[in-house]
Amino acid sequence: MRITGHPVLPDLPADEVGFTFNGEPYTAREGEPVAATLLANGVRQLRVSPVAVEPRGIYCGIGHCYECRVWLNNDTQVRACLTPATEGDSFASERTEE
Amino acid sequence: MSAEETTEDFDLVVIGGGPAGLTAARDVAAAGGRVMVVDENHAMGGKLRGQLHEDPADSSWWKGWELAEQAEKDAVDAGAQMMTDVVAWGLEPGWTVRLTYPAGRTGGPSQLTSRAVLVATGAVERPMPVAGWTLPGAMTIGAAQVLTNIHRVKPGHRVLVVGMDVLSLTIARAMQLAGVDVVGIVLPPTTVEGSSPRATLSRLAPMAKLAPARYMRLGGHFLGWPWVQALASRLVPRTLRMWGMPLQLRTSLVVIQGTDQVTGAALVNVTADGTPIPGSEREVAVDAVCLANGLIPLNELLATLDCSFLRSPDLGGTVPVHSDTLRTQLDGMYVAGNTIGIESAKIAEKQGALVALSIIDDLGLSSRRGGDAAGAALDLVGARRTMEFQFDANVQRGHDDVQRAWEKSGGRA
Ligand SMILES: Cc1cc2nc3c(=O)[nH]c(=O)nc-3n(C[C@H](O)[C@H](O)[C@H](O)COP(=O)(O)OP(=O)(O)OC[C@H]3O[C@@H](n4cnc5c(N)ncnc54)[C@H](O)[C@@H]3O)c2cc1C
Ligand code: FES
């Protein structure tokens, strides 16, 4: 789903930051929010809503709706549409008990 | 900055690093003010960063991403400081700006104190609740803009756009440029206020009159003659083509379909007044649906403070009462940009320059740029008149209403 060879905009640098989401490895562009990396890899579902038990993904894309929240390194909930990965981060839909 | 260092002091704290905030920061810093800009995004520029359209004035490309980088650089060169990945969550008179770091790792001061605060928090999208809108793959048109133009990821392979306004048409075009198959642009479900074919056309029609020659050229093929004729006539045509994309003026969304994610949408033909025509229901296979229901000014930070608000449909929602020189009723509190009404980035930038003049004046800073705020306020009115497009054709009327409310309230307390 990556856009390359855009007729107006210059190409972006290649993927280089490694992280995992629900245990699966992904490579992100520096500074790109995890939701964008995941969508580029065909992953739309970021979590399951706790009450209705329905899948949720990117909705507003600008940090306003909190639909995209995921767990970062099992200790903080972050908005996947804003938060870039740093090398070695692990993101997950659910928090796991240790 | 270390985590222990919790307060820093400034002449001006700008909340929101969009075109309004960055321009104001640049000018106040250039006048010698100690300025800090905070923004919750990872990069400065606000909504400007994602914008991409052909400038009707000279057919050059309006590349928001480059303009945002430049605006940030200009502000930094002038001496303004910047903090990204930080949310301002509270304001206390005096002024104290309370901060939080949602990414959970960028430590910084927990509050900033400042002689003046500029709220330049921009706008957000009005939600369009429709059946299926929580499915992954259903997103706002703004999300599609950010994904396509900033992150360069396709929102979908086959995309349906729901809602017709200047923004949705512009973003549909941006998606098409990026190689997305925009299978159609349809109307919102009939339950959404003002979504009938006739209401949609009447909202778009005054804009064609605004600055006709320029407006028609918006985006090259955007508004050809068939479109303008349709706007002028009472008949609502079934489909118009825009850069080859079907603009289905008599089709409404019924529901977004899918189990784990979007797989399609159900559509129905409607009469000019928006009544569904039985037997015309059909389905279209798509992997993303982008919902456009207009923008609303974001100014909730001011809601807890002792200032009055005015509801103005022309401005897109509720805005704090302020002067034409962008002072609020509270000493040291200023507003600029889409937080006080939905307009283009060019206007937001002008508002940033205008509010800087007021701030420089009130703080007693010397301005190398010189200039008088009252004159700049008039220029703004003039600029609005010649803008190539408006989100709402009556935006100046909205600002006039605010001005009357300001005068009636006796201005600054
Ligand atoms: C989705 C969307 C798409 C748009 N597309 C176009 C377009 O294509 N063309 C056009 O001319 N106009 C467009 N606009 C209108 C746009 O608002 C203006 O063009 C312009 O960007 C407004 O500038 P601003 O400085 O007022 O606000 P913005 O550019 O919105 O900047 C405000 C910034 O403040 C940040 N912020 C808000 N609250 C806080 C807080 N509490 N703490 C920290 N940071 C905060 C926001 O995240 C944002 O980065 C769009 C608006 C939206 C919402
Ligand atoms: S998608 Fe709305 S906050 Fe991330």
Task: Tell me how far the alpha carbon of residue A15 is from its chain's centroid.
Answer: 14
Domains of chain B, CATH where assigned: 7-124+295-409 (3.50.50.60), 138-291 (3.50.50.60)
Which residues, including other chains, have CB under 8 Å from residue B279's CB and lie 6 or more apart? none
| ipTM for this model | 0.96
- Summarize the confidence of residues B105-125 as an average pLDDT: 91
Counting from 1 in the atom list of ligand 2, the atom nearest the Cα of A81 is 4
User: pLDDT tens-digit profile of A23-36?
Assistant: 999 999 988 999 99
Testing the interface with A: which of B128, B153, B243, B259 to mutate, by most A Cβ within 10 A? B153
Counting from 1 in the atom list of ligand 1, the atom nearest the Cα of B344 is 11
Six-digit token string for B71: 């605006």
Query: Which of A12, A55, A59 is closest, CB to CB, to B143?
Result: A59
Instruction: Quote the mean pLDDT of chain B.
Output: 88
Query: Which of A2, A60, A76 is closest, CB to CB, to B142?
Result: A60
Tokens 């979590």 locate to: A47
Handedness of CA B326, B332, B333, B336 (dihedral sign): positive
Q: Which pTM does this prediction carry?
A: 0.91
CATH number of A17-92: 3.10.20.440
Predicted confidence band at B369 (pLDDT cuts at 50, 70, 90)? low
* Nearest ligand to residue B336 Cα: 1
Six-digit token string for B255: 């529901």
pLDDT at position B231, please?
Answer: 57
User: pLDDT tens-digit profile of A6-59?
Assistant: 888 888 888 789 999 999 999 999 889 999 999 999 999 999 998 889 999 999
Residues of A in contact with B178 (CB under 8 A): 3, 6
| A79 near B CB under 8 A | yes
* Domain spans, chain A: 17-92
- Summarize the confidence of residues B304-315 as an average pLDDT: 94
Tell me the shortest Cα–Cα distance from B216 to chain A, in angstroms. Answer: 22
Neighbours of B65 (CB within 10 A): 18
